[in-house]
Structure 1
Amino acid sequence: MNTARYETILRARKDELEIRLNRIEQDFTAPRNPDDDDRAIERNNDEVLEELGETGERELVAIDAALGRIAAGTFGTCTRCGAPIAEKRLETVPHAPLCQACAEEVSRRG
């Protein structure tokens, strides 16, 4: 497995997320509109931005963990069962810590 390629992909995604999260943070600190109707719309937008921010933060944590696995030499190995993670899965979710079988089992448990 070409871990250098995945490291490049993960670092690029991390940079992209950090830029996006910074923009979201700037939007939260921007002055609010004095118009009540516009302020209500801004509040709704803030809820969407907050969810995007939380999702981005979770992905950053997963990316950092994946970069740690690359450094440790364990990238591409399921953190739960130790089986190899399929290349196709890593192509789709480069920061995936679990093989497909373990991911499905964890998902079913909810």
Structure 2
Amino acid sequence: MNNQTNNNSNGEYKKALQHLTQLQEELTQRLENLSADRSSSHSIDSSEQAVERENDEVVDQLENDTREELVQVQSAIKRIENGTYGICAKCEEEISPQRLQAIPYATLCIHCADA
């Protein structure tokens, strides 16, 4: 790899790290908000309680999805730190910059993801 390519990769990874760090902060804040929403008390009215419990299920699912995404983001940050970011976990080829822009925590190249 020549210096210019290496410098471009370093610049791209620096941008990716900034983006992932920002995303990590946003997801952490979202988890805090969801947790606060879930901890609010329920109404005394039984019909309202039924709706609130359904809402709790939605909040629980959102919380689970957010946690899963946060784990993926944190893993991507670790991959940047250890030098394996942007390498497909399956075929060990480079993941395209366009794919990493779209899904910054992608672990598979588009070919392996489609397989």
Same fold? TM cut 0.5: yes
Task: Quote the Cα distance in structure 1 between the aligned partners of 2:90 and 2:70.
Answer: 20
Q: What residue ranges of structure 1 are gaps of 5+ in the alignment?
A: 106-110
Alignment-derived partner of residue 6 in structure 2: none
The equivalences for 1:61-76 within 5 A come to 61-76=71-86
Measured in 2, the distance between the counterparts of 1:61 and 1:99 equals: 19
Mapped to 2, the partners of 1:102 and 1:58 lie a distance apart of 21
One of 60, 66, 69 as aligned partner of 2:70: 60
Alignment map for 1:13-28 (pairs within 5 Å): 13-28=23-38
RMSD: 0.8
Identity of aligned residues (%): 33
TM-score (structure 1 length as normaliser)? 0.91
What residue in structure 2 maps to residue 84 of structure 1?
94
2:75 pairs with 1:51: no
Instruction: State the AA in 2 paired with 1:71.
Output: E
Which one of 45, 48, 70 corresponds to residue 38 of structure 1? 48
Query: How many equivalent pairs are there?
Result: 105
CA distance in 1: counterparts of 2:44 and 2:113, whole angstroms? 47
Runs (4 or more) in structure 1 with deviation over 3 Å come to: none
Separation (CA, whole Å) in 2 of partners of 1:88 and 1:66? 16
